Amino acid sequence: MGQNLILNAADHGFTVVAFNRTVSKVDHFIENEAKGKSIIGAKSIHDLCEKLKSPRRVMLLVKAGPAVDDFIAALLPFLSPGDIIIDGGNSHFPDTNRRTRYLAEKKIRFVGAGVSGGEEGARYGPSLMPGGNEEAWPFIKDIFQSIAAKSDDEPCCDWVGDEGAGHFVKMVHNGIEYGDMQLICEAYDIMKRGLGLSNSEIGDVFTKWNTGVLDSFLIEITRDIMKYNDPDDGTPLVEKILDSAGQKGTGKWTAINALDLGMPVTLIGESVFARCLSSLKSERIRASSVLEGPEIPAFTGDKEAAIADLEQALYASKIISYAQGFMLIREAAKEYKWKLNNPAIALMWRGGCIIRSVFLADITKAYRAKPDLENLLFDDFFKTAIHEAQAGWRRAVVKGIEFGIPTPCFSTALSFYDGYRTKNLPANLLQAQRDYFGAHTFRVKPEYASATLVEDKDIHINWTGRGGNVSASTYLA
């Protein structure tokens, strides 16, 4: 990825100094892929810094964690006040917060930049999400916006916010990516096991979906995967792949942060748990022989109608996932005192990145019309879209239940939607239970306030006559 970013920058007229700890790799790169381009090799970190113009702009693409700190420590003796270090890895945003503050004390400007798009994106236009010390932005803006992907001639890159804001937005991007992938897998599972479609037929469905509201990079590659056959025997390769999913942690970070901030980002959480469940392969094999469920009958209904319902379920669930993601971004801005630009974030994700889709153009439009939009579901476009998709969405979830095919993300998206649109949830009973067993108090609905049940006051009731009148803690929703 680093090599491709270097080539990308050189193609856009910038002179780049390349360094790798394994110097032979640098030599090979200079003599081959970089030959004839404005790329200079460096033999050491000192040599790298000597060859860079002031203010030096050093971008690291190394594994997140201690390796980033180690490289920063190695760079510092050769840097001057005002120089810029950019971390382009998948660092956890609290680490970027810490590094920004630490390096500011040393008069070094630090940038934590989310980079998405994989190797191809890095070479021809990634999505870039920079945050950190804003003083660095004027010195890297032209470079970043030149090498970034373009959507409607606008660069998929803008300044995100202070400290770890860039890496936070990249973290949420990756969480949404987890959700999108799991939703696609659930649609595939229902089509294959429930509707009895062949891999080629499923590929045809994804081909069609990629021409409509679901047009996206992930739908596109799923189409290709479903059509790919093993050259050795001509059978679908995807069926030979072990159904135990891996992960690198960014989805988990998103779910944990959502819990920390009290945001119901349920779809991303379920997508992480789905991967965890998939990894229990040996247990699932044993369970499959002893735990009963419905036998999936040969499907005799209207397949085209069922496929249309799945398309609506996938579209509606994606709307919920992105709504939840932006809810988390909104709450993080409050918690960490970041000034985040929601329209710019949506634009950054429209091209170059893994979750790029035509769908994000509608999100960009919604936030440009109302930057302080409380929730995507309050935007007229998305409200109408989810209303129109709702019937098919519900039928698809019911089909999964009837078949005994798990749809954790379709289901949790629908449950969130039904909960979000419900004026009165059963949390009143939950609060009564908490007060009964732990004297944790509750608050009364305004319409039922009285002299004994005072509005906006933490109240404890002696439910049995045997308890005391001292409450254990204040009310927490």
Active site (catalytic) residues: 170, 177
For tokens 């998948």, the residue is 90
The one-letter amino acid code at 470 reads V
Question: Tokens in use for 31?
Answer: 């003599």
CB 120 within 8 A of CB 220: no
Residue 80 neighbours by CB distance under 10 Å: 11
> Using alpha carbons only, how large is the chain's radius of gyration in Å?
26
Show the CA angle centred on residue 270, arms to residues 157 and 238, nearest 5°: 80
Distance CA 317, CA 364 (A): 18
Residues 6+ apart with CB under 8 A from 204: none
CA atoms in the 13 A half-sphere facing the CB of 200: 3
Question: Tokens in use for 367?
Answer: 């936030």
